[in-house]
Homo-oligomer: A and B are copies of this chain.
Amino acid sequence: MTFSRRGGREKRVAGAIRQLPFTRLVNPYTPIEILSADQVEAIIDGAFTILETRGMRFLEPGSRKLLVAAGAEAVDDLGTMRLDRGLVREKLALVPREFGLRARNRDHDLRIGGKNLVFTSVGGPAFVNDLDKGRRPGTHAEVCDFLKLIQSLNIIHQESGGPFEAMDLPPETRHLDLYLAQMTLLDKNCQAYALGGVRTRDCIEMNCIAMGVTREQLAEDPAVMAIVNTNSPMQLDIPMTEAVVELATSGQACCITPFTLAGSMSPATLAGTLAQQTAEVLGVMSFAQAVRPGAKLIYGSFASNVDMMSGAPALGTPEYTKAAFASGQIARRLGMPLRSSNTNSSNMVDAQAAYESEMSLWGSIMGGANLVYHAAGWLESGLTASFEKLIVDAEMLQMMAEVLRPIEVNADQLALESIAGVEPGGHHFGTAHTLAHYEHAFYAPMVSTRQNFENWQEAGSLDTARRANALWKQMLAEYQRPPMDAAVEEALDDYVARRKREILP
């Protein structure tokens, strides 16, 4: 790595890393609509029909009892439940259109729904990757490094419930180490690792300790959300059911996300995939509202396709973009906040990783998503979390945030006098107007270079990933832990120690 020495001509690495301040984003644009109003109705009607006739399988017996009590019909011994559209509509009316999620630092509180837009870091990969050590199973120390960067990158609003698995820790208690790291290394909102009731409950308890609130207070002012994946097609498994029960009961939020890859987990058509995705969301939504009326939910869209030559997942595709636009229309029609993602199928941080991510981001943001999951750090169809991709994505997210900032039009911005004062064929470099505006006029990039070819070549011909590699190391070196009361930290440590003894005596 020679960047830190030679790259100094851009005054980037020598000083602090330039980035935008932490800002809650509001999307000012009318979402892009790919479906006609009739098509939206036809897809939602299809979803109702699927729930009424094919039905959805609920593997957890308690959930079936609750659904029967709510008016659903048990079809077989395997857990298939039919829900008629009257029941689904009745439950849908209970879903809040917008809700808040608090953070330990209240300056980092979030709003979900409406025109609000939240960027969440990558969650769930099996591997970690960086240019120095390559692709590998991750450790808890590396998870902590990743979390520090998520705290440091202002454009990331929310942590994801673990950036990747810490394979050096026992799986039964790994979630406790993750929560402790989240709560001590970040003061942003962090998601739960919601695989089962125990892990979800531990997250809720530790949030109460970290924030110094009771469970009742947390229900009033929620802090916990988790991704609830269905087992597509048309099934909710037991661990996810437990998570829904814990979250809904305690007034926290669920993002219901079917895993509908068209051609494998759903039909090889977008309309069919969207109908099935909507049916699965509505099925789980109905259950969550039966658990607790008014449960806070998000319509999660992950619809993409498989590569029909190999059966491999294909992310960041044109189909992904179109499904995101359509899902936004469906979610708004249903009155639910929308989650989408920043996805790609590349194995490295190259042009493909960037253009597939952009296709996902434009689909998500112009589709009206309220929460973009995996917004920073995802690689390789979600198998890997990448340190360099985290930085490159943060740059792309900052650029999108700038696109969401309106253009000011007034006498000062129109600059007609300044234009009148510059000679035709001349330039605006030294005008009073330019001098008054230049410092904050334009987006200042973090990892993009505007060096000319000769200077760039002299500086080592570094590609974007190499420059990102230097940046995350600098950011890690400059990381500052947010303050935490010593008594709170001790209480968290005690909780983790006690729970570890209980789980692995």
Q: Point out residues on A near B: beta carbons under 8 Å.
A: 10-11, 28-30, 32-35, 39, 42-43, 46, 49-50, 53-54, 56-57, 78, 80, 135, 231, 233-235, 262-272, 274-276, 279, 305-314, 317-319, 321-322, 326, 345-359, 362, 366, 380-381, 383-384, 392, 395-396, 399-400, 402-403, 405-410, 412-416, 418-420, 422-429, 431, 433-434, 437-439, 441-444, 447-453, 456-457, 461, 463-465
Cα–Cα, bound, A272→B34 (Å): 34
* Chain B residue, CB-CB nearest to A266: B428
Give the chain B neighbours of A33 by CB distance below 8 A: 29-30
Cα–Cα, bound, A279→B80 (Å): 67
What is the minimal beta-carbon distance from A337 to any residue of chain B, in angstroms? 22
Contacts A35-B407, A271-B408 given; indicate if A11 touches B309 (C-beta within 8 A). Answer: yes
Cα–Cα, bound, A403→B46 (Å): 23
Give the chain B neighbours of A407 by CB distance below 8 A: 34-35, 39, 270-271, 274, 322, 326
Can you list 6 pairs linking A and B with CB atoms under 8 Å apart?
A268-B437, A271-B413, A308-B438, A348-B463, A350-B351, A351-B353
How many monomers of this protein are in the complex? 2
Cross-chain contact A428 with B264 (CB below 8 angstroms): yes
Give the chain B neighbours of A412 by CB distance below 8 A: 269
**Chain B CB within 10 A, most for which of A274, A307, A431, A451:** A307
Cα–Cα, bound, A276→B428 (Å): 12
Given contacts A305-B442, A354-B358, 15 further A-B contacts (CB under 8 A): A35-B409, A233-B422, A267-B437, A269-B433, A272-B416, A310-B450, A312-B450, A312-B451, A314-B442, A319-B402, A319-B442, A345-B450, A351-B351, A352-B448, A359-B403
Cross-chain contact B428 with A268 (CB below 8 angstroms): yes
